[in-house]
Structure 1
Amino acid sequence: MSGVFSPTRAKIKERTLRTDKWWLQPLATFGVLMSFVVYATFRAFEGANYYKDHLISPFYSPCLSEACLPEATILGFTPVSAEIFNFALSPALIILIFPLGFRMTCYYYRKSYYRSFWMSPPACAVAEPHKKYTGETRFPLIIQNSHRYFFYAGLVLNVILTYDAVISFKNPEGEWGHMSVGSLVLLVSSTMLWLYSMSCHSCRHTIGGRLKNFSKHPVRYKLWSWVSVLNHSHQRFAWFSLAAVAFADIYVRQVATGAWTNFYFF
């Protein structure tokens, strides 16, 4: 036995002495993350209703498949065949691996789904049911070490999604300077993604890590200090960005199906 059940630890038969409802947080986390996974999977395979009047869903951007609507592409760039191995591939499946990999390997999300899905451990001062612990030293969890590379890919996607937010300030006729509800939705979504990325631990390490003397790198030190402030709210930005991206996709889908009207302010 290991952990709290190891021979050198006190013999307490109770799994925990906590009297509060400690299970509510992992249960809520499980419910929210599972709901997002189910919805994102449905949208990824739907392959439709992702573009309308210069609004493109963040789940489908950049649209790189030959199956993409011409208006949804960036300068008509579609390097991926519409079918791979005789299977019609949804455009979302081409790029979702990168934001998914970024969130799955995120330090905060690791803690969240380790507790809510694997109960490792389910909460502070609550014993985990596993008899053996190997950490992130074996497959598949050793893949978590690739987080910084997904972070870099995420930055590229953030730039593209920011471009999408800018393009959304066109009206259906393609004229600039027209703000709609959809413009604000995409703008909030891209902003939340930037805050989530900038508050990331990998971002903090990339900017200020491996420096032996901050005084010799004043610019990087200043940037590191700003990112460090954001890092305190990384958990908050993680949830806000997840909700913002999901709602942006829902909004675009509803507009594309005609269920909602994208009202313009001017």
Structure 2
Amino acid sequence: MEPSLATGTERPQINTGVHGTTRAAIGPRHLRTDRWWLAPALTAGGLLAFIVYSTWRAFSNADYYAAPYVSPFYSPCLAENCEPMQAGPNWEIFGTWWGLSPALLILIFPLGFRLTCYYYRKAYYRGFWASPPACAVAEPHTKYTGETRFPLILQNIHRYFFYAAIPVAGILTYDTVLAFRDEHYEWGHMGLGTLVFLVNIVLIWAYTLSCHSCRHIIGGRLKHFSKHPVRYRLWGFVGKLNDRHMLLAWTSLISVALADFYVYLVASGAFDDPRFF
């Protein structure tokens, strides 16, 4: 009898995927001895926490404006049922027929951008679907179709969500500029909320520009970098950001939630925005 390679959970009685007849017949599910499950568990927990928080704030339709700050979840405001505010774009292009929270009209673009992002796809595929749960750990599914079928084939529209994310980041930049005012809309003032918005917009732009699609658009199709020195320098800059795409994905996700929560605290009266000058 052929000796077992290792002890542990025996090999499932299936003959597809990594357990196919043409693959190495390893008895255990994996040979890793570290806590490989910790990373996908923390990823799933972090994403789930943001989903719960953003869903609550998006449907609450309240406490999203405290002069001069407007929550990034609600800007730009595209419906007439927005809170009266003098900060941030308020275009009301959807008229009076929209009765739900105005955040639902705009969040589809930044959330779609993150949902189809290459890093986030890896994160929630591993964290929620165990596809695969970790490196060198076989996934529990009996077959793999990748992103060739509905609905995952829609991940291919990531580039178009990138195009939509650019103007959204521009609008949030405008909101940050308006944060240099006091509650009477006079310029030359700065509060704690201003710093919160500044950090958030820097991280939003860094994450957006570190996108793989952005890097490919700038220099992915160039055959001779020497003939395009400006694009080459831009491609190099975006490439350096791309090296930190995972870090920027998480820090920007946290910062946009903190910016919204800060506005919520001030708007609800739970916290007074300290002004530095």
Q: TM-score, structure 1 length as denominator?
A: 0.96
Q: 1:39 aligns with which of 53, 56, 66?
A: 53
What corresponds to 2:18 in structure 1? 4
Instruction: Please report the RMSD computed on the Cα atoms of aligned residues, expressed in angstroms.
Output: 1.2
- Do the aligned residues in 1 keep the contact of 2:69 with 2:175 (CA within 8 Å)? yes
1:26-105 matches, within 5 Å, as: 26-71=40-85, 74=88, 76-84=90-98, 88-105=99-116
In structure 1, give the amino acid aligned to 2:57.
Answer: R
1:129 counterpart SS class: coil
1:198-217 matches, within 5 Å, as: 198-217=209-228
What corresponds to 1:248 in structure 2? 259
Larger Rg: 2
Query: Structure 1 residues 126 and 72 mapped into 2: Cα distance closer, same or farther (>3 Å)?
Result: farther
Say yes or no: does 1:127 pair with 2:156: no
- Do the aligned residues in 2 keep the contact of 1:63 with 1:73 (CA within 8 Å)? no
Structure 1 residue 82: Cα displacement: 3.9
Structure 1 residue 219: Cα displacement: 0.8
Count matched residues.
Answer: 263
What corresponds to 1:154 in structure 2? 165
Aligned counterparts of 1:172 and 1:166: Cα–Cα separation in 2: 14
1:117 counterpart SS class: helix
- Do the aligned residues in 2 keep the contact of 1:62 with 1:73 (CA within 8 Å)? no
Aligned counterparts of 1:104 and 1:253: Cα–Cα separation in 2: 25
Aligned counterparts of 2:200 and 2:21: Cα–Cα separation in 1: 50
- Do the aligned residues in 2 keep the contact of 1:198 with 1:230 (CA within 8 Å)? yes
Greater helix fraction, Structure 1 or Structure 2: 1
Structure 1 residue 74: Cα displacement: 4.6
Q: 2:39 aligns with which of 15, 25, 36?
A: 25
Aligned counterparts of 2:51 and 2:90: Cα–Cα separation in 1: 30
Aligned counterparts of 2:53 and 2:64: Cα–Cα separation in 1: 14
What corresponds to 2:273 in structure 1? 262
Structure 1 residue 83: Cα displacement: 3.3
Please list the CA deviations of residues 10-45 of structure 1 after superposition, one character each: whole Å capped at 9, or x if unmatched: 222311111111101100001110010011111110
Please list the CA deviations of residues 163-218 of structure 1 after superposition, one character each: whole Å capped at 9, or x if unmatched: 00110110011110100000111111111000001111111001112112111111
Query: Structure 1 residues 121 and 176 mapped into 2: Cα distance closer, same or farther (>3 Å)?
Result: same
Q: Which runs of 5+ in 1 are unaligned?
A: none
2:120 counterpart SS class: helix
Say yes or no: does 1:109 pair with 2:133: no
- Do the aligned residues in 1 keep the contact of 2:207 with 2:245 (CA within 8 Å)? yes
Aligned counterparts of 1:75 and 1:8: Cα–Cα separation in 2: 60
Aligned counterparts of 2:220 and 2:34: Cα–Cα separation in 1: 39
Please list the CA deviations of residues 146-170 of structure 1 after superposition, one character each: whole Å capped at 9, or x if unmatched: 0011011111100000100110110
- Do the aligned residues in 1 keep the contact of 2:190 with 2:275 (CA within 8 Å)? yes
1:19 counterpart SS class: coil
In structure 2, give the amino acid aligned to 1:81.
Answer: G
What corresponds to 2:6 in structure 1? none
Query: Structure 1 residues 211 and 72 mapped into 2: Cα distance closer, same or farther (>3 Å)?
Result: same
In structure 2, give the amino acid aligned to 1:219.
Answer: V
- Do the aligned residues in 1 keep the contact of 2:66 with 2:263 (CA within 8 Å)? yes
Aligned counterparts of 1:93 and 1:37: Cα–Cα separation in 2: 14
Aligned counterparts of 1:171 and 1:101: Cα–Cα separation in 2: 33
Structure 1 residue 234: Cα displacement: 0.6
Aligned counterparts of 1:58 and 1:76: Cα–Cα separation in 2: 13
In structure 2, give the amino acid aligned to 1:77.
Answer: W
